[in-house]
Amino acid sequence: MSNNSDIFEEDRIYHIYSRSVGNDLLFIEEKNYLFFLDKYDQFCSRVFTTLAYCLIPNHFHFLVQVKPDIENHQVVKAFSDFLNSYTKAFNKTYSRNGALFQRKFKRKLVEQENYLTRMILYIHHNPTKHRIVENFKLWNYSSYRSFLSSKPSKIDRSFVLAWFGGLESFEEIHETIKSEYLPDDFLLE
């Protein structure tokens, strides 16, 4: 087994993120967010189990686990096809040309247990970090609310809630994030 975070390995957990080129927006209207998630599901659900996500106007974060018997090239192709499909539709809708996302999406292997907790918290709190909303719970385009709901979801709620020790603990830890789980020096893009 390789420790190279540039290779996707089956059953491993990764933080995948990317942003728009320049100052472009990835999402202009609500329908863009929903279409993006539909495209993600269409292309990526066969290679990933999704643990958390957050979509921000100019970037996105996904926390995923590669499914068993899936190889690196399958993951890269699925994710690239997903981004290309969204870009083509977005460009057609808004009469624009060229790349929408930075050239290569980024990924980080989640190897340490405490890092998994921090990544889930970081992803859910991202709208607050970027001052889009004052309370991360109010952001419609993250997976946080799906953990509180009994509606069907494409998020692996059982894994994440078990990781946090149940729903009550999940909510409590999200509330105490600043002081205990995300020190000031824990910053990503």
The tens digit of pLDDT for each residue in 53-78 reads 999 999 999 999 999 999 999 999 99
List the alpha helices (DSSP H) in the chain: 30-44, 72-93, 113-129, 144-148, 157-164, 167-175
| pLDDT for residue 51 | 97
Task: Please report, to the nearest 10 degrees, the dihedral formed by the alpha carbons of residues 76, 100, 60, 11 taken in order.
Answer: 0
| CATH superfamily label, 13-181 | Transposase IS200-like (3.30.70.1290)
pLDDT in tens, 6-34: 789 999 999 999 999 988 999 999 999 99
Asked if the model's pLDDT at residue 183 lies above 60, the reply is no
pLDDT, the chain, mean:
89
List 56's β-bridge partners, or say none: 59
Q: What's the rounded Cα separation, in Å, for the pair 72 and 183?
A: 33
pTM listed for this prediction = 0.89
